[in-house]
Structure 1
């Protein structure tokens, strides 16, 4: 009987210990799962201190829904606007002597002497000297005739003929500004930049021969080629942004006083495409003649989330942005993108609004994360 009671007691104790161990095991297991879950949540975090963020050029912006305009990506070209270019022609025949280097892009101010034309050693002599002599002779004849007509020595008709000769000689003389060496001084008619120079030292030119082209480039044209499949959208195209082929800078015509000046209704110039021409103010870094990527903006705006193009990174066909979650913590967020206008890209999924998105330096965050260049995260929750 005593043995029976002892056996039951031992079994009860074993069961109690088993239950306690099982509870402890479950508690330990749950703690381990929580730690793993917590570790996993931190594994997606990228830690960048304020100093590091400054050094790698990070900029962050809170993304909110705003009016976003659709765009059509096309190709095109930057062209000089008509009326902003002047051609300098030879006002006399002779030998050219350049006063300065006239390479493409050289800055010139209105009225500055750019070259001289001399005929001193040519048959007929210097046209400037000849014009001066003719003017001085005509002037003396005119002064003499003025006195004679008052004394009725010559008729009014004779006086008018002498006066006309004097005025013609004066115009011819003024048209050939003396360079002080018996030649003709050629000056820049407008302030601007040398587009092309067609002569060099020692060249012989004749009257009316084009020698120099000067452009002001105050206004430029952007000629876009719209695929004819978008013909029905012509009426709602309002502006454009563009990126020159030689640069990563995107220019907004709305900020350059841009406007549409011509819309082709046929595709004869470039089969399959409709030409659209914008006029805008020139800006630093824009080079006439260059090709460009163009995003034609439509007037049909909508509320949407959009981020700067620089905020988006790409990996194997997927797109990501980086979100700042606290003072020194960032996380990678996959997004689905919509249309772009060259400056902003629409986000159709992945963001809700209100997130602080890295808008500059996103590539640096991507590189830092992939190389484990940022120290391990270590703060308490």
Structure 2
């Protein structure tokens, strides 16, 4: 039995067991328990208020169970703060304050009205982080219980309502949002891949032949490196052909010999013992030997030739194994700045005419819940294909985006290309959709603890929001976190114990 059905049974039982007196003397009773409790659900920008209380009657205490939910990521209960409820009728008013919650999210208050009429309830919330105010207008305060009973509207609960208490919602990831009308876009759903942007990567190559040795922990994929960070050492070892050590020794000997020859020639040419031509040849030989020696000796140590990172970034790939022999020019590693990425998507040629209108895209990586928007990543279209071939029937479109640090080059992505605008579309969060046997439905929150399962007709989706063609109305609130828990709760038919006062 749902909570609404149980409430109706109790109400009927109360009406049968209680009596009060009418104006003509008939015994009709005056017990407060015959009054049906009132419930309101009001939203501010910061807070959701769900409050239950008995109709207000002069001289009678009405207890309030005020449930406050913070409108954040998961609609958590308000646990710290002070809540004051004020009842204003004209210029007169009374108030009640709860300095703390009786249980997480629930503040218990009470009012004893002293003036009949129509007024308003004002809830003031003060917390260490923020303050808020929620107003309920047109509240009736009755002169006595007989008047309250005469004007009471007995509502028949809808059969398809699902009760899901605040105490349940506060224990799980839960959130709802209003269905809104806003500008949307035509969407082409496809697949793509993240790639490194051109110019964002540099290849590290061997500048001499020899055996590769790794330089510590920096020579690992994913390691952060700075420009000049040592990555490899290339040593000659026992290699006879192209031995870097032998090359260095030879270059040093050639340099020292050429230097001595040049210094001697500089003296001899002054005394005209040698010709100017011979001197210039000696000078040229010295400069060539010096260049060769400096080039080889620049990063040479006793352990071999030192290979450093040319840029700051991350080690994307290691292309050799330790101990491997390489010759000069062999690729050793790839360093990526990892600041820019390319999102490349391929679409069917039937959408060729829509390519010029595509200016943004949403994308979601495999295994990641977050949906990224190229506009939020400073993205822009840098190219799109203008032809196809038998081997490539799809047309590529490419975006350049900033890498926020969570994106990995090479990752596959589900891509939602956004093209021509759709004005005033009825839109809800895409995560609100649940599927059942090929049909889509959402859970609409009709009151603080009441929900309704609605089948909806779905239009386009960009991964973040979905266009709804029927089934819901603008302003209705749909559950986009925790909908599956409501489904499980409705299947069990059980309600947890709670402490609401009516």
Q: Normalising by the residue count of structure 1, what TM-score does the alignment of the two structures yield?
A: 0.78
What are the equivalent positions in structure 2 for 1:178-327 lying under 5 Å apart? 178-268=299-389, 270-327=391-448
1:168 aligns with 2:288: yes
Q: CA deviation at 1:142?
A: 5.3
Question: 2-side partners of 1:234 and 1:128: how far apart?
Answer: 58
Distance 1:378 1:188, change over 3 A: closer
Cα distance, 1:350–1:249 mapped onto 2, change above 3 Å: same
5+ unaligned residues in a row in structure 1: which ranges? 1-34
How far, CA to CA, are the matches of 1:302 and 1:160 in structure 2? Answer: 80
Q: Which has the higher strand share?
A: 2
CA distance, structure 2, for counterparts of residue 371 and residue 150 of structure 1: 109
Q: 1 or 2 for the larger relative contact order (CA 8 Å, sep ≥6)?
A: 1
Q: How many angstroms does 1:155 deviate by?
A: 6.4
Alignment of 1:27-46 (within 5 A): 38-39=156-157, 41=158, 44-46=161-163
CA distance in 2, matches of 1:359, 1:148: 92
Q: Is the 8 A contact 2:365 2:414 kept in 1?
A: yes
Cα RMSD over matched residues? 3.2
What is residue 131 of structure 1 aligned with on the other side? 251
Report what 1:105 is aligned to: 222
- Cα deviation for residue 94 of structure 1 reads 1.4
2:213 counterpart of 1:92: no
Aligned residue pairs, count:
345
**For the residues of structure 1 that align with 2:262 and 2:495, how far apart are their CA atoms?**
92
Q: Take 1:57 and 1:69, find their aligned partners in 2: how far apart are those partners? A: 29
Out of 186, 195, 211, the residue aligned to residue 79 of structure 1 is 195
Quick check: 1:68 aligned with 2:184? yes
Q: Retained in 2: the 8 A contact 1:48–1:330?
A: no
Deviates more, 1:154-163 or 1:120-129: 154-163
CA distance in 2, matches of 1:269, 1:291: 24
The corresponding residue for 1:117 is: 234
- Mapping 1:48-59, distance limit 5 Å: 48-49=165-166, 51-59=167-175
TM-score w.r.t. length of structure 2 = 0.61
Deviations 1:182-225 (A, max 9, x none): 51111111223333323222222111122222223322222222
Secondary structure of the equivalent of 2:170? helix
Segments of structure 2 that go 5 or more residues without pairing to the other structure are 1-152
Q: What secondary structure does 2:486 align onto?
A: helix
1:225–1:149 distance in 2 versus 1, CA, 3 Å: same
Q: Distance in 2 between matches of 1:348 and 1:80?
A: 39
Distance 1:169 1:269 in 2: 56
Paired with 1:309 and 1:113, the residues of 2 have a C-alpha distance of 48
Tell whether the 8 Å contact from 2:178 to 2:428 is kept in structure 1 after alignment. no
2:216 partner SS? coil
Q: Give the drift of 1:91.
A: 0.9
